[in-house]
Amino acid sequence: MLLLSVKDLCVKIDDKDILDKINLEINEKEVHVIMGKNGTGKTTLGLSLMGHPSYNVSGSISFQGEELINKTPDYRSRKGIFLSMQNPIEIKGVNNSDFYRAILKAHQKSMKVFDFALKYESELEALNMKPDLASRFLNDGFSGGEKKKNEVLQMKFLEPKLIILDEIDSGLDVDALKIVGSNISKLVENGASLIVITHYKRILDYVKVDKVHVIDNKKIVLSGDRSLVEKIDVEGFDGI
């Protein structure tokens, strides 16, 4: 069943064209990969789908049949879209567990204290994260890998329908990559769809891939199956 339909999406920043007539369709439980050289608009696409206010956006973004082009980021989040950012922000003064309870409440998914504590402990273990995380300020002093794992922890609590991963593999060592990859794969098994923005194939070793799209010159210039990732890995973007 069709989950996301993007039609003729154009994005500008300060009258500068970043994306031009992007078209994309994603079905439920599908994994789409967005690749391309630096500066081609991959992150802009993810932020635009999430409703970043700095962008001047036109076209159509339909999610489960509802037009979202003029909807706010928090509205899109409550509808079931989640964006994992390249560089998760640090918020001093807000500890991790309080943040999680707040986002659950905002999404009308509040849990009893005991149930929350059990799930929190279980998910920390699944992600191989330190047990003192609950009392630490959000991402404050976290390593790159801890920040990315903390993003995955949010996904596992919110259970979004569409997850946009913007270079989730950056800052991860081999062991952390395997943990993050396997946890993301389970989210897909449980019904989520993914948009994976990445330069490399290593995170894709742990996630099934349905379609691959290459962005260049503001447009999607090439689409294919997983074999396109392998070709890019060998030949580079210039080679294809």
Q: What are the tens digits of pLDDT across the range 176-188? A: 999 999 999 999 9
Res 238 pLDDT > 90: no
Return the H-helix or E-strand segment holding 180: helix 174-189
Selection from 67-76, 95-104, 141-150, 192-201 with the highest mean pLDDT: 67-76
| 200 alpha carbon, distance to own chain's centre | 15
Output the pLDDT for position 131: 86
DSSP three-state, residue 209: coil
The label of the residue with tokens 């609590």 reads 157
- Would the pTM of this model clear 0.85, i.e. be above it? yes
Report the share of the chain in percent with pLDDT over 90. Answer: 82
Q: Which residue matches tokens 């998914």?
A: 109
Cβ-proximal residues to 144 (8 Å cutoff; 6+ apart), any chain? 170, 171, 172
Looking at residue 85, what is its pLDDT?
Answer: 87
Which H or E run includes 90?
none
pLDDT for residue 91: 93
pLDDT reading at 67 higher than 90: yes
Average pLDDT in the 196-204 region? 89
pLDDT band, very low/low/confident/very high, at 172 (cuts 50, 70, 90): confident
Q: What average pLDDT does the segment 127-150 reach?
A: 90
